[in-house]
Chains A and B, each alone.
Chain A
Amino acid sequence: MSEEQIKSLEKQFEARIARDEKIEPKDWMPEKYRKTHIRQMSQHAHSEIVGMLPEGNWITRAPSLRRKVALLAKVQDEAGHGLYLYSATETLGISREEMYEQLHTGKAKYSSIFNYPTITWADMGAIGWLVDGAAIINQVPLCNTSYGPYARAMIRVCKEESFHQRQGYEIMIKLANGTPEQKEMAQDALNRWWWPSLMMLGPTDAESIHTEQSMKWKLKRKSNDDLRQQFIDQTVPQAELIGLTIPDPDLKWNEERKSYDFGAIDWDEFWQVVKGHGPMNKVRMKARVDAWENGKWVRDAAMAHAEKKQERKEKQAV
């Protein structure tokens, strides 16, 4: 294809996006669009799968049968999200195996929040309330993103995430209204998860390298800093309502902006975790790699069995 033809296709493509048309797998798309989507969507799928680990950590120790069932269902939902996000990404011409390979070798990233440990039951509440809360803020705009399979996957993901968020907040309510020990457990979890949750919405706009292009493709509709502000403004009253304190001495309502001012985020910590040196990076990755490698003989057996079955069927047909 000549350069001129490509330019013309690109122009038509951008016009379609500007008209809010959905791009579908078989449509022509610029290579950069494909690559950017593979990067973001697989990162999103990986986050769901790695995100199963910190919560899976409490399934066997959930404090009541009701909570155990809810936690199992939640982690199962995350696996489901991973499954359809991987499938949606496959429509861009990459296999699930290749994506796993990228995850296991550290080439692909996942949300850095999952590199923090879950050390008490209250962490199940804090993750639902804060981490899923921040995820929803990130993801709701993606229900209208330009790539059709991603947008459709996100509609379903967001519905389930908002259920998880309410469920997490409900765990916190129960703790906050419980015994002094339970209340302390809830406050401690908020103290530990607050700042990582703010970081989860991404580096400040000045340092975010992908923002401009992603905005154009509707892969991003608000900047990281705007999303962060939205998260803070939404969450602070929820904490107040249940008598918990946000661990930020500089947090203050700004009447002029009609928003909360907040303290400085420790971006050194963020980059340390992103670069692979958070408290749980190595443990999380080992768990994923082990599951994959220990499961190889099972997947091989399933393939071999399917082939044998097919052969028998063909023989019978002859």
Chain B
Amino acid sequence: MKNENLYNYILGIADNSLILGQRLGELTGHGPSLETDIACTNISLDLFGQVRSYFQYAAKIAGDERTEDDIAMLRKEREYKNVLLVEQPNTNFAYTLGRQFLFDVYHLAFLKELQKSADLTLSAIANKCIKEVSYHERFSSDWVKRLGDGTEESRAKMQEAINDLWTYTDELFHQTEADKTMVAEGIGVDVTKLKEAYYKNVSDLLLESTLEVPESKYFQKGGKQGIHTEHLGYLLSDLQYMQRTYPNMEW
């Protein structure tokens, strides 16, 4: 492939949306209220829409027979590049919203920078996504506030979720080889520069929600290198089921 770095870079972005969208899709019909059910389904829908734009572009760059669906559904587990945060399960609504919030704050800041990309397709996709992601960020922030500053039970649950998910936040700011090349070419976003503002924004909102900011400095990483938590394999077996069972068919 002529432009392998760009291809890998796009997958690195899109896989986050793909895996998070898949997680949210599990909840449709099972939400705590109709309104939240609709909102979570809507976020999933947005994320898959974004995934399609990215993967259609990646397929074009690959320049062979592969399609957006091949890229989404026919890679091996070690070839998925999403961060560990987004593959974490829907343990309860606090985990779902906590995961969403911790990702959205990053995602929004990332897309703001990606809009400035020298790659016009990526900047156009970022421009389209940012409207959706601003809404996601507002929705998840509002819910962290509600659950944090709600009842004793909800505060305890929200705090537990934030504490558990915190260990996956640092990875958001790790640079891969593809990242570095793309940053040098003016195409990619330097995620290391987003870190400080991220922790400030997240901490401010947690404090406003009467929650504690976790102090732990032990972080997990590996997703960007394809070394995932045990959760991902099960998620992929659903995601890939049809493509694997009925290969080379159109749907």
Given A63-B246, A65-B68, A178-B249, A305 and B149 contact (CB-CB distance below 8 Å)? yes
> Does B109 interact with chain A (Cβ within 8 Å)?
no
A241 CB within 8 Å of chain B? no
Whether B145 lies near A305 (C-beta < 8 A) is yes
Q: Which residues of A, 170-199, contact B by the 8 Å Cβ criterion?
A: 171, 174-175, 178-179, 181-182
**Option from B45, B150, B249 in Cβ contact (under 8 Å) with A72:** B45
The 10 closest A-B pairs by CB, nearest first: A295-B32, A301-B150, A301-B154, A63-B242, A56-B29, A52-B29, A298-B32, A63-B251, A60-B238, A305-B146
B residues less than 8 Å from A179 (CB atoms): 246, 249
Interface: B194 (CB within 8 A)? no
Do B249 and A182 have beta carbons less than 8 Å apart? yes
B64 to chain A: closest CB distance in Å? 18
Residues 101-140 of B, flagged 1 when their CB comes within 8 A of A and 0 if not, give: 0000000000000000000000000000000000000000
B52 touches A66 (CB 8 A): yes
> Which chain A positions have C-beta within 8 A of B233?
none
**Given A60-B238, A67-B251, A121-B251, also A75-B32 (CB < 8 A):** no
A252 at the interface (CB under 8 A from B): no
Q: Which of B2-10, B34-42, B211-219 contacts A (4 or more CB under 8 A)?
A: B34-42
* Contact indicator A72/B35 (Cβ below 8 Å): no
Write out, one digit per residue, whether chain B residues 154-180 have a CB within 8 A of any chain A CB (1) or not (0): 100100000000000000000000000
- The residue that A69 contacts in the complex, of B32, B35, B48, with Cβ under 8 A, is B48
The answer to whether the Cβ of B198 comes within 8 Å of any Cβ in the partner chain is no
Q: Is the CB of B93 within 8 A of A295?
A: yes
Decide: A82 near B34, CB < 8 A? Known: A297-B154, A301-B146: yes
A49 to B38, CA, bound (A): 11
Inter-chain contacts of A287 with B (CB < 8 A) = 29-30
Given A59-B25, A295-B93, A301–B238 Cβ distance below 8 Å?
no
Q: Does residue B82 face the partner (Cβ distance < 8 Å to A)?
A: no
B34 touches A83 (CB 8 A): yes
Partner of A79, one of B37, B52, B242: B37
Is B243 part of the contact surface with A, judged by Cβ < 8 Å? yes
B185 CB to nearest A CB, Å: 28
| Complex contact B151–A182 (CB within 8 A) | no
Q: Are B52 and A72 in contact (CB under 8 A)?
A: no
> Does any Cβ of B come within 8 Å of A202's Cβ?
no
Apart from A56-B29, A65-B69, 15 more pairs, CB < 8 Å: A60-B235, A63-B243, A63-B249, A63-B251, A66-B52, A66-B251, A76-B28, A179-B246, A179-B249, A294-B93, A297-B151, A298-B32, A301-B154, A302-B150, A304-B154
Contact yes or no, A61 B242, CB < 8 A:
yes
Interface of B is mostly: helix
Q: How far is the CB of B83 from chain A (nearest CB, A)?
A: 20
**Does the CB pair A76–B38 fall under 8 Å?**
yes
Chain A residues near B157 (CB, 8 Å)? Answer: 297
Q: Who on chain B is nearest to A45 by CB?
A: B34
Alpha-carbon distance between A290 and B27 when the two chains are bound, in angstroms: 12
Interface size, chain B (Cβ < 8 Å): 48
B49 interface residue (CB < 8 Å to A): yes
Residues on the B chain within 8 Å of A67, using CB = 251
Contact A304 B151, beta carbon cutoff 8 Å = yes
Cβ B32 vs Cβ A294 within 8 A: yes
Nearest to A79 among chain B residues (CB) is: B38
Binary interface encoding of chain B residues 207-237 relative to chain A, with 1 for a CB under 8 A from any of its CBs, else 0? 0000000000000000000000000000100
Does the CB pair A301–B35 fall under 8 Å?
no
Q: B residues touching A (Cβ–Cβ < 8 Å)?
A: 22, 25-26, 28-38, 41-42, 44-45, 48-49, 51-52, 55, 68-69, 72-73, 92-93, 145-147, 149-151, 153-154, 157, 235, 238-239, 241-243, 246, 249-251
Bound CA–CA A95/B92 (angstroms): 27
Q: Decide: B246 and A290 in contact? CB cutoff 8 A.
A: no
Give the distance in Å from the alpha carbon of A72 to the alpha carbon of B157 in the complex.
28
A83 to B246, CA, bound (A): 37
Residues of B within 8 A of A56 (CB): 28-30
Q: Nearest Cβ distance between residue B97 and chain A, in whole angstroms?
A: 9
Q: Which residues of A contact B32 (CB under 8 A)?
A: 291, 294-296, 298-299
Smallest CB separation, A124 vs chain B (Å): 10
In angstroms, Cα B38 to Cα A55, docked, is 15
Flag if A72 contacts B92 (CB, 8 Å): no
Residue pair A61, B238 in contact (C-beta under 8 Å):
yes
Enumerate chain B residues within 8 angstroms of A174, measured Cβ to Cβ.
Answer: 250-251
> Which of B41, B52, B238, B250 gathers most chain A CB within 10 Å?
B41
Q: Which residue of B lies closest to A57 (CB)?
A: B29
Chain B residues positioned under 8 Å from A49 (CB to CB): 29, 34
A53 at the interface (CB under 8 A from B): yes
A15 neighbours in B (Cβ, 8 Å): none
